Structure 1
Amino acid sequence: MQDKQLTVGDTLGLGFMTFAFFLGAGNLIFPPFAGYQAGDHSYTAMLGFLITAVGLPLAGLIAVAKAKGQVMHMLPATAATIFASAIYIIIGPAFAAPRTSLVAFEIGARPFLSDVDSTITIAGLVLNKAQLYFTAGFFTVVMLLAAFPGRLMDSVGKVLTPILILLLIALALSVVSFIGNPMPEATGDYLAHPLSKGIVEGYNTMDTLASLMFGVLIIDLLRQKDIHDTTLQTKYLVRAAFIAAAGLAFVYVSLFILGATAGDLAKGTANGGQILTNYVTHQFGYAGTIALSVVVSLACLTTAVGLVSACSDFFGTMIPGVTYRMLVVLLSVVCAVVANVGLSQLISISIPVLMMVYPVAIALVLVTFVHNWFRNPRLAHRAALTVALFFGIFDGLKVAAASLASFDVKSESAVTTALVHFVENVSPVLSKMPLYDQGMAWLVPTMIVVVACFFVGKKAPIAA
């Protein structure tokens, strides 16, 4: 039986769906704040941010297509399973999926609620009542949409996302016409290292990690559309990747400029969501606040649907006797529970983890692209990822130690003391590494290993 061909409309729908999966919480709240902090160095910082928040997710999707969905096939089975599981947990129930509901609540619901700070006690925990009810309702909708994966392209790609794109275009056009303020002087790391700071800031979107799982999800959706030929799957996935990347770049550039030129609208804000809300309220009043609520809620909802679907599909193949829909229900409940930890806490915990895992994901994408140049591809994959993980762990621990120091953590805590002492002991050695002070100590050693593997190693007859 001949494979079905996607129409132009179907291809656009697939691309829009991919864009919607990526465009979630971090994509809307991080760029404005980064633009505000980068100030007169915004364009350099924006370039760095676009590298990790647009370029790498695009490369990740293409790598998945190039590897026919098997990007980890050169790793030992146990290591591949652990790494894949870690990515799915980080992107799914641990951080990214719960964060979508929290951002949707903060920007999409909180402005319209009067009794927003009332609490409720459950099992000894004091929770925000409005947030609890909102997250429960949010993930109920996510559960219903994710339970029918064959309809994702139609429900998300052809219905929800066009509405989202129209609202984002209106927002971007208003930013272009907005007579903003002069860009302020850059602050913090943006003053000394705007490019590398922008690159690391792009980690927070988690989109490179997401690309490795969304690529597999899209291939599965194409199979459900009776497209089984791997060449056709690769073609449509690459097209969807470029559509998604163009959409993300469009959103990021406008939000970066907004943050950099917001002036008094950004003063005193703690995150990009507040800058965005202040801007929209200033420009459009109450009607604008409603429109922003719809944009954020749709963006977060579509991303959460993609995350829950991908995680359910992955773990469904690993756990015998557990069906996809059972996992959709379970993960939706877990996400709703984790979300009530709070947005600030989730972000603080996620940053050190991302500093550790992101280098491995980037290295994986890189070695997949240059796979055919290695004398021994299996050795090259394992060596590059091991080095990236080794140095990424130190980058993550350094950030974790700094984060603990910024919180009210008791100095006599054994974990805190051990971590601080460890970082203090290794810092004098690692500080000599290029880019260590910029959070990218992993980059140079990993690149050296990759290049070395072009020439080193016994030639192995392994197919691409």
Structure 2
Amino acid sequence: MNKSLSFSAYIFIGLMLFALFFGAGNLIFPAHLGQLAGTNVWIAITGFLLTGAGLPLLGVLAIGISGSNDLQSLASRVHPIYGVVFAVVLYLTIGPFFALPRTGTVSFEIGVAPFLGEGSHALALFIFTVIFFGVSMWLSLSPSKIVDRVGKFLTPALLIFIFILIIASLVKPLGEQTAPKGEYIAAPFATGFIDGYNTMDALASLVFGIIVINAIKSYGAKSKRDIAAACLKTGLIAVGFLAIIYIFVAYIGSMSVNRLGLFDNGGPILSGAAFVLFWLLG
């Protein structure tokens, strides 16, 4: 029997999808963009949003409309061999080759490294990584419970902390925007456009779309039309939150140079901003 999803179901699945998208790159790239773009931050973040939020939405929609059960079956429409190769390369890219190492190290740099003394952090990083990915594995072992564990609990907590930082940065700005630097001087939109793609959410959306479809089906939706419509609604919720956070994290970065200095990545920018605004509570 086909059932329509409730409003709360759309919210929970949308928040789950947001949490799946929201990884290390979603914090470090807009913060670093803000520092480098300076007074050109709004032009740069517009390009960033097109690829960092727009393409992931299209990816989820593509999976929802296609009716495919997995990434390989979707890519196999080109050719069966292509389907296998594409799926393997994509999973390796958003997994052990790029996204996973970045997620672990950035989480460590933001949440743990500021509390450690000077010197090598190798052992601390190893311990943190084991715990971090152990918890991640536990959350992933039961796909049917992802909505409950992520969408109903972890994501709201994450959003609360992020929005507290955003509100504090608006009430008490870190400083003034500085002049743009590097490629953000002449081509802020194009540079932001490329940086948005570097979050790799456009690639991940083809995988996350399958998780979304399974979650939608678990709530009773069966027809292809209803599943596609639900993918659109939940996708809009997810990328809407992503866009809001991108804009304000870039704003924080653009105001931080004089107070914090210029960094090579966005991790120290956010941890530094949190420390300035909230001291040890940050």
TM-score range, shorter chain: over 0.9
Question: Which one has the largest radius of gyration?
Answer: 1
Higher relative contact order (CA 8 A, sep 6+): 2
- Report the CA distance between 1:268 and its aligned residue: 3.8
Give the conservation status (yes or no) of the 8 Å contact 1:53–1:202.
yes
Determine the C-alpha separation between the residues in 1 that align with 2:157 and 2:241: 14
- Structure 2 CA distance, aligned partners of 1:190 and 1:154? 41
- Aligned residues: percent identity? 35
Local SS of the residue matching 2:112 = helix
Q: Are the equivalent residues in 2 in contact too, given 1:265–1:275 (CA < 8 A)?
A: no
Matched, 1:274 2:268: yes
Distance in 2 (alpha carbons) for counterparts of 1:93 and 1:3: 38
Structure 2: where are the runs of 5+ without partners?
none
Counterpart of 2:225 (choices 231, 234, 249) is 231
Q: CA RMSD in A?
A: 1.7
Amino acid at match of 1:158: K
147 and 40 in structure 1: CA distance in 2 versus 1, 3 angstrom threshold: same
Could you tell me the TM-score, scaled by structure 2's length? 0.93
Deviation readout 1:288-316 (Å, 9 max, x if unpaired): 2xxxxxxxxxxxxxxxxxxxxxxxxxxxx
Q: Deviations over 1:78-114 (max 9, x none)?
A: 1122112211110012111222111111111122334
TM-score (structure 1 length as normaliser):
0.57
| Amino acid paired to 2:56 | P
C-alpha displacement of 1:185: 1.5
Aligned to 1:367: none
Measure, in 2, the Cα distance between the counterparts of 1:106 and 1:20: 19
**Counterpart in 2 of 1:16?**
15
The alignment covers a number of residue pairs equal to 278
| Cα separation, partners in 2 of 1:42 and 1:129, compared to 1, 3 Å | same
**Amino acid of the structure 2 residue aligned with 1:149:** P
Tell me the alpha carbon deviations over residues 206-246 of structure 1, each in whole angstroms, 9 at most, x when there is no partner. Answer: 01001111111211233344433222221221111000011
1:139 aligns with 2:133: yes
CA distance in 2, matches of 1:143, 1:269: 32
Residue 178 of structure 2: aligned partner: 184
8 A contact 2:38–2:180 mirrored in 1: yes
CA contact 1:90–1:96 (8 Å) conserved in 2: yes
User: In the TM superposition, what whole-angstrom CA distance separates every residue of 1:37-95 from its partner, at most 9, and x where no partner exists?
Assistant: 11121111111111110111111111222222364353011112211221111001211
1:312-366 deviation per Cα after TM superposition (whole angstroms, max 9, x unaligned):
xxxxxxxxxxxxxxxxxxxxxxxxxxxxxxxxxxxxxxxxxxxxxxxxxxxxxxx
- Counterpart of 2:275, as a letter, is T
Distance 1:4 1:98, change over 3 A: farther
Alignment of 1:77 onto 2:80? yes
Cα 1:134–1:180 change in 2 (3 A) is closer
Partner AA of 1:80 in structure 2: G
Offset, 1:265: 2.8
Cα pair 1:19 1:247 within 8 Å, conserved: yes
Verify the 8 A CA contact 2:108 2:128 in the aligned structure 1.
yes
- 1:227-270 C-alpha deviation (Å, 9 max, x unpaired): 33222221221111000011001100001111111132341422
Letter in 1 for 2:142: F
Q: Does the 8 Å contact 1:38/1:186 carry over to 2?
A: yes
Q: What is the SS of the residue equivalent to 1:30?
A: helix
Structure 2 partner of 1:35: 34
Q: Name the counterpart of 1:56.
A: 55
Partner SS, residue 75 of structure 1: coil
- Name structure 1 gaps, 5 residues minimum: 119-127, 289-464
Question: Contact conserved, 1:36 with 1:266, CA < 8 A, in 2?
Answer: no
1:136 is displaced (CA, Å) by: 0.9
Q: How far, CA to CA, are the matches of 1:115 and 1:174 in structure 2?
A: 29
Query: What is residue 168 of structure 2 aligned with on the other side?
Result: 174
Residue 259 of structure 1 corresponds to: 253
Contact 2:65/2:224 (8 A) holds in 1: no
Q: Which residue of 2 aligns with 1:305?
A: none
Amino acid at match of 1:78: I
Q: Which residue of 2 aligns with 1:197?
A: 191
